Chains A and B, each alone.
Chain A
């Protein structure tokens, strides 16, 4: 799968809730940022996740 902003993490990458949250741990460590669970409730695509990370980095 070629990962792009529109790649759906749930339907295309088949991430279940547990795998998605584990990905979030990797993302937090890679960007040295904290992303609360409630900030990603509506996230479906890689692009939406990137937006959340950028927003959190700006807030920090």
Chain B
């Protein structure tokens, strides 16, 4: 097959799936008005698909920190962390993250995607095993592939499926890395972490939890599902991203294990990537401080999430099993979901995410909302009202 044929085939698939009309992927945002409003297609649009869970993207202290770092340290580091790109801000953020999670140390990566790539490829290698939840994010799948380890899956959120496989691994179980997520991005459901931790304790091995969608959302201090479920002593590695609750870009891993420091020498996605810009690091440090000091943001996010979940549920939409900041309505057919998404944007001026199979569970398309602490109750009601008017 000629080299580029596989890409040209994508054009046919795209045409078959989307036809003419508003492209649902990569929607151009013309102007940001606030954390929850933007101008799209010439209209003021309510944003309900941005993962901006705590609404910190226009937080004054974060803006100021970014401006100061830009003025004092320049636009970029022009080097990787292992070369010239480790500025004092990077090291300070690592100390602050370790302190926030109550862990021995942290590593900061240039993107959340790279955090999974970098950690998984460094922790496991040929002869090792990685056992992942079937619904894990693409970055986890790719990190596994990069590691060279034998990659196995267990049924989504099914601790007994994990246990069966750990039993089959026998004496190899202790050299197995189990990987789950705090909140799964498609339906917003949470891992049964207490049961998963119990399996890990029984068979040995290591446990890594990706708290990308649960950082700042769950737990008394916002540390995520690990804190919420009281499993911190069982979880060896917590990975996360700065691009959701912290309103920036980047990723991290925290751990008590001293080997974490050695990941810097073993992880190509860490070694061979330019480090995060000084301004980017500065806004994340400020956002971490806001997240720590203002637990009321978490309360407001929870209230907004409940308001939207209950509203859509009462309308008869089939949603994920748990209330959380990801509120996804399942549709039967891709064209039905696409039509709904387009009418939501073009007629109601509300932006949400459209998710298509095979990236979705059970092969069903999703219209996915993400809730923010910055949404007002009136904005949440506006979303519910639009879903009522457009109800299939």
User: From residue 155 to 180 of chain B, which have CB atoms closer than 8 A to chain A?
Assistant: 155, 161, 164-165, 168-169
* A25-41 contact mask (Cβ, 8 Å, vs B): 1 or 0: 10011001111111000
Q: For residue B134, which residues in chain A have a CB less than 8 angstroms away from its CB?
A: 21-22, 25
* Residues of the A chain whose Cβ atoms lie less than 8 Å from the Cβ of B153: 21, 24-25, 37
Q: Does A12 lie at the interface of the complex (its beta carbon under 8 Å from any beta carbon of B)? A: no
Q: Within 8 Å of chain B (Cβ to Cβ): is A19?
A: yes
* A38 & B150 in contact (Cβ 8 Å cutoff): yes
Kindly list chain B residues whose C-beta atoms are within 8 Å of the C-beta of A32: 168
CB A37 to nearest CB in B, in angstroms, measures 5
Chain B residues with CB under 8 A of A22? 134
Residue interface bits A1-36, CB-to-B below 8 A is 1, else 0? 000000000000000111101101100110011111
Q: Which residues of A contact B145 (CB under 8 A)?
A: 38
Interface size class of A (residues with CB under 8 A): 10 to 19
Q: Which residues of B contact A29 (CB under 8 A)?
A: 161, 164
Q: Are A16 and B357 in contact (CB under 8 A)?
A: yes
Question: What are the residues of chain A within 8 A of B359 when measuring CB–CB?
Answer: 18
Q: Which B-chain residue is minimally distant from A29 (CB atoms)?
A: B164
Enumerate chain A residues within 8 angstroms of B357, measured Cβ to Cβ: 16, 18
**B175 CB, nearest partner CB in chain A, Å:** 14
CB of B358 within 8 A of CB of A36, answer no
Contacts of B154 in A (CB 8 A): 25
Query: 19 pairs across A/B with beta carbons < 8 Å?
Result: A16-B357, A16-B363, A17-B358, A18-B358, A21-B134, A25-B134, A28-B165, A29-B161, A29-B164, A32-B168, A34-B165, A34-B169, A35-B152, A36-B150, A36-B151, A37-B144, A37-B151, A37-B152, A38-B145
Chain A contact residues, CB within 8 Å of chain B: 16-19, 21-22, 24-25, 28-29, 32-38
